[in-house]
Amino acid sequence: MDRRTFLRSTAVTSIMAFLGIPASASDGLDFGPEMPFSFDRLRDRARELARNPYRAPLAPDRELLDRVDYDALSKVRFKDRYALFANRPAPITFFHLGKYFPVPVKMYLLQEDGTTSREIIFDSRYFEIPPGNPAAAIKDNNGFGGFRVEETRADGKRADWAAFAGASYFRAIGALGEFGLSARGIAIDTAVSDKPEEFPLFTSFYFQSSDEASEAVTVYALLDGSSVSGAYRLNLQRTAGVLMDIETSLFLRQDVSRFGIAPLTSMFWFSETSKPQMVDWRPAVHDSDGLALWTGTGEHIWRPLNNPPSISASSFMDSNPRGFGLLQRDRNFDHYLDYTHYERRPSLWVEPLDRWGSGAVELIEIPTNDEIFDNIVAMWVPAQAAKAGSAFMFKYRLHWLADEPFPTSLARCVATRLGTGGQPGQTRPKGVRKFMVEFKGGPLEKLPSGVKPEAVVWSSRGKFSNVFTEPVPNDIAGDWLAHFDFTVSGTEPVDLRLFLRSEQETLSETWLYQYHPPRTVS
C-alpha cells in the first residue's frame, strides 16, 4: 500500500468511526453528505411524491445502454474489496447499468442505529471493466443498476443469495441453491386490455446490516411510478432458503385498474401435461408448475399452470387469505433433462402478516413460445378500488424454499395428465378428452384395504363420464389416480374442479384446472 492509499484509507476509517458505522461496512467507497433517516421519513417522502406529478429519473443515453447487453454486462464485475459489510456474513455488491438495468438507482448506507444515511457515490473504479467493453463509456456521475446480497460458501467462493435489479424486480435462491422466479414490489395494470402495464421503479435503497454474526440485512426502498409511490422495509434473512419480511406503504397518484400486491413473476413454457408436438426436445421447461392457495377458510388448492392460446386472467376470490405461491413441485431431473436444473428452481410463498381483508388472488397466464419470457404473474388484488389519492398498507413474508412452508396434511396433487377419451381397443369418441390426476400421501396412505376414494368433480360447463379412481400400480401406499372423460362444445376455457373423499371425509387438496379445448379433439 502506497502512502496516498494509506492516508485515504485512514481518513475513511476515521470518518466512518465518527458516524458510528464500522469501517468494514464501506472500505474504499465514496460517500455523500450525512442526512437524517427513518422509515417514517421515507414513508412521508413517498406520500409527498404521490401528491405531485411524476418525474421520471434521468438515465444515460439509451443507445449506449443497449450496447451493454447481457454478454457485455456479464463481463463487468464488482470488486469484492468495495463490498458493503465485506467482513460480515452478508456482504452487498452492486450491478452496473446496462440494457436490462437502464435506470440509475441511488444507494445509501445507514448508520448502525438507522438514524443517518449517506449516499454511496457511483465510481467506475468499483468495477472491473474489460478493455473495449461498452460499459466503460458510462460516466461516473450515473448511478448503480441494482444490488445483490452474497455469502461465502464452503469452497471459499462468494455466491449471490438475493438480487434486486430492474424496475421493482427482485429474486432469491431457494433451499436447492438455484435462482428462478422473481418477485416485484408492485404490479400495475398487468394484462388490462385498454391500458399498458406500468413498471414502477425502486429509485433508492438504504442498507442497514445486522450484527456481525448474522446472515441478515435490512433494506429500505423508495418506489416511484406514474400511478403510485411507496416506501418499503425488507428484512432479508438467509435460512434453508431465504425469508423476506416486507412492510409497505403505497400512495396512488392515478386510478389503477388492477392493483397487484406481493406479485410473483415466473415462466411456464410447457410441461408433461400439455407439450406441443416437437416444440422442443426436453420433456418440460418451466420455473414453476402450479399456483398453490391456502384460503381464509382453510382450503388448500392446487392449480396447474398453462401456456394458454391467448392471455388468460383467473380470479380466486377470498377474504384474509392465509397464503399463496407459485411452486415447482416436480423435482425429477429426468422430467427436464436440462443443465440449467429447472428441478432445483425455488418455490415462492406469500404469507400475509396482517389481515388483508377482501379481494382475490389473480393469476395471469400469457402465451409464450420460448423460455426467455416470464409469462406468469400471481398477485393479491384488494377488493377496495385503487383510486387516486388512496393509500394501502401491507405486511407479508416471502418464503423462498423448495416447497410451500405450510403444506396441507391431506393428499397432494403430484401430476395432471391429458389424453384422448374412451377406452383402449375401442373406437375413440370424437370431441372427448381424458384427464388423469394423481394424488399422493395424507389420509390416502391409511385407507383400509378394498376402500376406494371417491372423485368429486365439477365444471363450469360440459359433461363428465367414466369417472373412477384406482391405485397407481407401484406398491406405494397412498398413491392414487382419479380418471374422468370430459366432453365440451366450443373453444372457450372451462374451469374444472376435483377432490377425493371417502364417505364425508375429505382426503385431498382441491385440484383446479383451466382447460382450453382445442378446435378439434381426435
Q: Which of 370, 401, 432 lies at the terminal end of a domain, its last residue?
A: 401
The mean pLDDT of 278-307, rounded to a whole number, is 96
Same domain, 362 and 435: no
516 in helix, strand or coil? coil
pLDDT tier at 267, thresholds 50, 70, 90: very high
Cβ–Cβ < 8 Å for 435, 467: no
CA-angle at 516, arms to 515 and 522, nearest 5°: 100
Q: Do residues 391 and 510 share a domain? A: no
In DSSP terms, 171 is beta-bridged to 163
Q: Are residues 365 and 496 in the same domain?
A: no
> Domain with 422 in it: what CATH number?
2.60.40.10
Report the pLDDT value the prediction gives residue 97, as an integer from 0 to 100.
95
Characterise 283 by phi-psi region: left (phi > 0), alpha (psi -120 to 50), beta (else): alpha
For residue 499, CA distances in Å to 82, 176, 441 come to 55, 30, 14
Give the separation between CA 171 and CA 157, rounded to whole angstroms. 20
In a domain, residue 107? The reply is yes
Tell whether 87 is covered by a domain.
yes
| 424/350 same-domain check | no
Judge contact between 293 and 301, C-beta under 8 A. Answer: yes
CA 133 to chain centre: 31
Cell 412452508 locates to: 405
pLDDT in tens, 464-486: 999 999 999 998 999 999 999 99
- Domain of 215 in residue numbering reads as 3-401
Distance, CA of 240 to CA of 89 (rounded, Å): 15
What's CA 210's distance to the chain center, in Å?
25
The Cα 418–Cα 274 span in angstroms is 7
- The overall average pLDDT reported for the chain is 92
341 and 490: one domain? no
Same domain, 363 and 459: no
Task: Please report the sign of the dihedral spanned by the C-alpha atoms of residue 248, residue 249, residue 251, residue 257.
Answer: positive
pLDDT in tens, 402-461: 999 999 999 999 999 999 998 877 777 888 999 999 999 999 999 998 899 999 999 999
The percent of residues in the chain predicted with pLDDT above 90, rounded, is 82
Q: What CATH number does residue 369 fall under? A: 2.70.98.10
Q: What is the C-alpha separation between 426 and 98, in angstroms, rounded?
A: 60
Dist CA 444 CA 482 (whole Å): 12
The distance in angstroms from the start CA to the end CA of the chain is 77
Contact yes or no for 508/413 (Cβ under 8 A): yes
Rounded CA-CA distance 181/306 in Å is 16
Same domain, residue pair 385 and 426: no
Q: How confident is the model at residue 155 (pLDDT cuts 50, 70, 90)?
A: confident
Cβ neighbours of residue 345 under 8 Å, at least 6 residues apart? 174, 176, 178, 179, 180, 181, 287, 288, 328
Q: Mark whether 124 and 188 lie in a shared domain.
A: yes
Task: Choose between 426 and 337: higher pLDDT.
Answer: 337
Q: Nearest CA to 268 among 410, 416, 485, 399? A: 416
Q: What pLDDT sits at residue 113?
A: 87
Let me know whether 245 and 213 are in one domain. Answer: yes
Q: Could you tell me the sign of the dihedral formed by the alpha carbons of 419, 345, 320, 42, in that order? A: negative
Cell numbers 381464509 correspond to: 296
**Together in a domain, 259 and 353:** yes
The rounded distance, in Å, linking the Cα atoms of 401 and 407 is 12
Among 401, 433, 452, the domain-final residue is: 401
pTM of the model: 0.93
Among 266, 91, 77, which Cα is nearest to 179's?
Answer: 266
Number of folded domains that form the chain: 2
**Residues 391 and 291 placed together within one structural domain of the fold:** yes
- Both 117 and 190 in one domain: the answer is yes
Of 381, 401, 421, which residue constitutes the final position of a domain? 401
